Amino acid sequence: MKSELNPKCYIIDDFVGGGLDLKKVFVIAGLAMVLVMGGDALAFDAKELAKFKALNKCEGCDLRGANLSRANLSGTDLRADLRGANLTEVDLSGVHSISAHLSGVNLKGANLSGVNLYNAHLDNANLEYANLSGTNLRKADLRGTNLSGADLSKANLKNVKLGNNIFCKTKMPWGVENSDCNEAKF
């Protein structure tokens, strides 16, 4: 039945009258809004990325989700929001301290040797094949990280937070960890 009082209700009445539940309409609309708004959640600021590349520093920059793969960032002043960024094979050696949000960052094959990552948030990061030898990871959050093939020999791991990690051919200060290797059984 069409609403006689408000012609704007015709659309809703048509949905409901056509067998579509009004609750479902609101749920679908809500999900669409979350997807649209969430799309910007890991969007970096292009101007700040250009500034960072030009100056080799950018304090407080929003570089969430930026692609900095294979960049030479050694000696960089890295104080930025890098959550979800792609730092595959990036060279960060020689960086004295990284004061950045690194949750969910892809650091596969990155060189972080000797870097100070004291109290760093690296949860859910991909550190597969990363060189972390001599890195200060004291009090760092490494929960949920993939450490397969990573080199953490000579790394400071005091009070590091671990859990749900992947260790396969991972070089640790006490030796090689292979607890999560999926070897084929013949």
Sketch the domain layout of the chain as residue ranges. 7-38, 44-179
Two structure tokens written together for 88: 């595959």
Is the Cβ–Cβ distance between 143 and 160 less than 8 Å? no
List all residues 6 or more positions away from 125 whose beta carbon is below 8 Å from its beta carbon.
102, 103, 104, 105, 106, 107, 142, 145, 146
Which pLDDT score is estimated for 158? 97
| pLDDT interval class at 54 (50, 70, 90) | confident
Give, in order, the Cα–Cα distances in Å from 37 to each of 31, 33, 161: 10, 6, 32
Two structure tokens written together for 75: 């000696």
Q: What is the pTM of this model?
A: 0.72
Q: Per residue in 15-40, pLDDT tens?
A: 445 554 544 433 333 333 333 333 33
Residues 111-133 have a mean pLDDT of: 94
In angstroms, the CA 123 to CA 26 distance is 34
Nearest to 163 by CA among 180, 185, 176, 183: 180
In angstroms, the CA 26 to CA 45 distance is 32
- Please give the full DSSP string across 72-110, using - where no structure is assigned: B-TT-BB-EE-TT-B-TT-B-TT-SBB-SB-TT-B-TT-
pLDDT of residue 109 exceeding 60, the answer is yes
pLDDT of residue 185 exceeding 70, the answer is no
Q: Per residue in 145-177, pLDDT tens?
A: 999 999 999 999 999 999 999 999 999 999 999
Report helix, strand or coil for 60. coil
CA atoms within a 13 Å half-sphere pointing along the CA-CB vector of 1: 3
Q: What percent of the chain has pLDDT over 70?
A: 75
